[in-house]
Structure 1
Amino acid sequence: DLWKMRIEQYFLMTDYSLWEVILNGDSPGPTSLVEGVAQPVAPTTVKQKLARKNELKACETLLMALPDKHQLKFNSHKDTKSLMEAIEKCFGGNTETKKVQKTLLKQQFENFFGSNSESLDQIHDML
C-alpha cells in the first residue's frame, strides 16, 4: 500500500490521466478479423493514438519505479492494468514490507508524540 501511495502521488504531480489508465486500463487496441482470427491493427485515429501513447507512457513509468533487479520479471506485461496487478501481488502482500510500514508508522508516531514534550533542537537531533 505504501508503494502504491507513493506512485499515485507521483502520478498526481505529473500526469493524473496516466494513473487512471493504470487503474482502469485504456480502451483495447483496434483489431480486424482475418479469416476468422482477430489480428491487431495499428491505431489510425487521433484518439486511438493518444490512448496507445498513454498506455505506453504509464507502463514505462511503472517499470521505472521498480528496482533494477525486478525489471525483467515485469517486462512481459503488455498492458498497465495487468502490470499494476502483478506489481501489487509481488510487493503488496510481502510480510517484510508490512513490517517496514509498521516500523515507519511507529517512528512517525513517536516523533509526533515526542514533539509535545521536547524542544525543536532535541527533535531535530533525534531525526
Structure 2
Amino acid sequence: GIRAIWRTLLKKTTFLHTRLTFSISIDSLSPQVVSAAKLPILNLNEFDLWKMRIEQNFFMTDYSLWEVILNGDYYVPTRIVEGVIQPVAPTTAEQKLAIKNELKARGTLLMALPDKHKLKFNSYKDAKTLMEAIKKIFRGNTELDQIHKRLQNLVNQLEIHRVSLSQEDVNLKFL
C-alpha cells in the first residue's frame, strides 16, 4: 500500500538527486579533465583504430598538440658555458608555449597507453619520437598481416569444400 508507494518515491528522488549531483559535478570539471577522461586507451590489437581516435581527440581539444606530434617542434634553448652546452629556461612567450604544448602532447600520449606499457615509453622525451615508438611496436608487421589473411582465406575455402583442419594444423601451416 502506502508504504510501498513511499519507498518507491524515496528511491526515485534519491536516484534523481544522485544523478543531478553527478551531472553538475561533471559539468563543473575543467575541459582538460573531461577530455583526459575520454581519451581512447590503446588496444594492442587495434593500433590503426586507436591512432584515428587519438588524432580526433587532438583535433577536438587542441590541434596544435597534434602538430607537435607530427612535426616534432620540441626545442630546448641552450647556451654554451665554458665549452659545455647547458639548457636555458625559456624566455619568450613563444618558447614557453612550445614547451607547454610539447609536454601536454607527450603527456596525453602516455595517458592513452595501457598502464603496463607506460614505464616502457616514459623514456621518450618528446611527443614525436614517442608516437614513432608507439607506431613501431604496436602497428604490427604488414607482411605478416597479409600472410595471415591469405592463410585465413585458404582455411575458409577448405571449410567450404568440407575439408576440416584442426587449429593446431592451421597454426603449423602459418609458421
TM-score by length of 1: 0.71
Task: Quote the Cα distance in structure 1 between the aligned partners of 2:92 and 2:64.
Answer: 19
Matched, 1:11 2:47: no
Matches within 5 A, 1:73-88: 73-88=120-135
Deviates further, 52-61 or 31-40 = 31-40
Task: Quote the Cα distance in structure 2 between the aligned partners of 1:69 and 1:50.
Answer: 31
Larger Rg over CA atoms: 2
Task: Quote the Cα distance in structure 1 between the aligned partners of 2:109 and 2:125.
Answer: 12
Using a 3 Å threshold, how does the CA distance of structure 1 residues 94 and 72 change in structure 2: closer, same or farther? farther
Task: Quote the Cα distance in structure 1 between the aligned partners of 2:91 and 2:74.
Answer: 14
* RMSD, aligned α-carbons: 1.8
**Counterpart of 1:92?**
139
Q: Deviations over 1:54-108 (max 9, x none)?
A: 000000100010001000000011111110111101111257xx69xx8xxxxxx
Task: Quote the Cα distance in structure 1 between the aligned partners of 2:90 and 2:79.
Answer: 12
Bigger RCO (CA 8 Å, 6+ sep): 1
Match of 1:67 among 114, 126, 135: 114
**Counterpart of 1:113?**
none
Match of 1:23 among 70, 94, 98: 70
Task: Quote the Cα distance in structure 1 between the aligned partners of 2:87 and 2:141.
Answer: 37
Which secondary structure state, in structure 1, belongs to the residue aligned with residue 111 of structure 2?
Answer: helix
Q: Percent identity?
A: 78
Using a 3 Å threshold, how does the CA distance of structure 1 residues 48 and 7 change in structure 2: closer, same or farther? same
Which secondary structure state, in structure 1, belongs to the residue aligned with residue 79 of structure 2?
Answer: strand
Aligned residues, how many? 98
Match of 1:55 among 96, 102, 127: 102
Runs of at least 5 residues in structure 1 that lack an aligned partner in the other structure: 103-127
TM-score by length of 2: 0.52
Q: Contact 2:74–2:126 (CA<8 Å) still a contact in 1?
A: no
How far does residue 52 in structure 1 lie from its aligned partner after superposition? Answer: 0.4
How far does residue 35 in structure 1 lie from its aligned partner after superposition? Answer: 1.8
Runs of at least 5 residues in structure 2 that lack an aligned partner in the other structure: 1-47, 150-175
